Amino acid sequence: MKTIVCIGAGYVGGPTMAVIAKHCPEYRVEVVDVNAARIAAWQTDSLPIYEPGLLDVVKAVRGRNLFFYDDVEDRIDRADIIFVSVNTPTKGFGEGAGQAADLQYWERTARQIARCSTKAKIVVEKSTLPVRTAEALEAILHASENDVAFEVVSNPEFLAEGTAIRDLEEPDRVLIGARATPSGQAALEEIVKIYAHWVPRENIITTDVWSSELAKLTANAFLAQRISSVNAISALCERTGANVAHVSRAVGMDRRIGPKFLRAGVGFGGSCFRKDILNLAYLCEYHGLPEVAAYWRQVVELNEFQKRRFVRSMLGAMFNTLAGKRIAVFGFAFKPGTSDTRDSPAMAICELLIEEHAQLVVTDPRALDNAREDLKDAPDCAFTPDPYEAARGADAIALITGWPEYRELDYERIFRQMAKPAFLFDGWNELDHEALARIGFHVYRVGAPPLEPPPEST
């Protein structure tokens, strides 16, 4: 029985290893993390992350061939294959601050692997890393005093939160990059063999390490670029009276373009897009390509503009002052289907609203604990899981995460309990705007003109 050890029990490591364990019963899969509380939670039915379908998979394999441990160093040498999925946030200090990846957790892991290994291993990079990091990883591993053979393989993760299990079960492709040497190709085959348990061979593509690393950054940059493109058009729609949903639909029906990732909203969030694009831009800059760097950076700048624009539109609609006004913030997760709030547009929007001295009441079906933590230093912020409670007495609702639950609410009841005039800013065009306007709401949409209530209801 071969042993896989995955370092990092987060949004990537946890679900990926659960699915590998499910399909590969002849492998022992161990997930390790320095965060003992997180590891403890993986052993209960309250998993540390919310991901639809994850608990069922974990329950089916936990204790069979999936195990969770917090003694990272003791586990390393048991592994034949190590997956590294530790976090690589954007650097907050020094050279490349705000742009380059912060590689300290990753390098610490590389050194741990080097120090604790006495037998040959394949080390698989799963964390999104700057291109050519595999080279640095090799340098650290080969500098190890223990005379151990390591082979470094890149296997970037393409799962999206909220659909992680489906994305892992039926990936569009699995990408594996390795060196062209015989030992590199043998390592590559080992990793192909794992995925081939459930992924058709033609969907497992192989390449060199650097192309694999760059493909991951590029895929995320392209996805984010589509969102910024449609959000840019949404701004123009609001000025001209066009409707961005209609524009997106018409554009997306061109088969060369395709319909996905053309939804205008309050901007993209999550731990990947911003980080990966800034990383890509930094890399271009470093390699003497400032024009290419500026091109990609603009995707992020437009995203910042979209969040500011949303708050400006609130301010403009509500008589240019939000001071002391109560605003119900519907949704704080970076997108529906997850408890993750990393880089959520909600955070940036709440900060801007707080700067305007608004009083916020935040509600979210899954991400309230993270919201509390993210906003712990913010003044005038309350939290409730109940959207009716959040909206009671509010001057406005700002819908920032498009949870489907928000479509099902009784908006007549909500309207009755709000201050008047009652404003609703729908950051995702999620709700039935005509019906809301008929109830009496002043409805503001993204990429379409506002809807006013009929005169008799105001």
Nearer to ligand ADP, 12 or 362 (CB): 12
C-alpha–C-alpha distance, residues 124 and 83, integer Å: 5
C-alpha–C-alpha distance, residues 385 and 369, integer Å: 10
Among 397, 458, 387, 382, which residue's Cα sits nearest to residue 428?
397
Site for ligand ADP in 123-142 (CB under 6 A): 127
Contact between 184 and ligand ADP by CB under 6 A: the answer reads no
Residues in the chain: 458
Among 339, 389, 343, 331, which residue's Cα sits nearest to residue 366?
339
Which x/- pattern over 367-396 shows residues binding ligand ADP (rule: CB under 6 A)?
Answer: ------------------------------
Contact between 13 and ligand ADP by CB under 6 A: the answer reads yes
* Partner that binds at residue 396, options ligand UDX, ligand ADP, none, CB closer than 5 to 8 Å by kind: none
C-alpha–C-alpha distance, residues 402 and 410, integer Å: 16
DSSP 3-state of 161: coil
* Partner that binds at residue 220, options ligand UDX, ligand ADP, none, CB closer than 5 to 8 Å by kind: ligand UDX
* Partner that binds at residue 159, options ligand ADP, ligand UDX, none, CB closer than 5 to 8 Å by kind: ligand UDX
C-alpha–C-alpha distance, residues 371 and 345, integer Å: 12
Distance of closest approach, residue 388 Cβ to ligand UDX, in angstroms: 25
Which member of 116, 237, 272, 350 is catalytic?
A: 272
Nearer to ligand UDX, 195 or 334 (CB): 334
Q: Which two tokens stand for residue 330?
A: 């519907």
Report the residue from 21, 24, 79, 86 that binds ligand ADP according to the rule CB under 6 A: 86
C-alpha–C-alpha distance, residues 328 and 305, integer Å: 22
- Count the neighbouring beta carbons within 10 Å of the beta carbon of residue 408: 8
C-alpha–C-alpha distance, residues 50 and 128, integer Å: 21
The span from the first CA to the last CA of the chain, in angstroms, equals: 71
DSSP of 2-50, one letter per residue? EEEEEE--STTHHHHHHHHHHH-TTEEEEEE-S-HHHHHHHTSSS-SS-
DSSP 3-state of 126: coil
Contact residues for ligand UDX, defined by CB under 6 A: 157-161, 220, 223, 227, 261-263, 265, 268-270, 272-273, 334-335
Contact window for ligand ADP (CB under 6 A) among 9-17, 194-202, 251-259, 387-395: 9-17
- Asked about 272 being catalytic, the answer comes back as yes
* Partner that binds at residue 184, options ligand ADP, ligand UDX, none, CB closer than 5 to 8 Å by kind: none
Nearer to ligand UDX, 221 or 283 (CB): 221
C-alpha–C-alpha distance, residues 433 and 451, integer Å: 7
Nearer to ligand ADP, 271 or 359 (CB): 271
Contact window for ligand ADP (CB under 6 A) among 94-102, 103-111, 348-356, 442-450: 103-111
Binding region for ligand ADP (CB under 6 A): 7-13, 32-35, 38, 72, 85-87, 105, 108-109, 127, 271
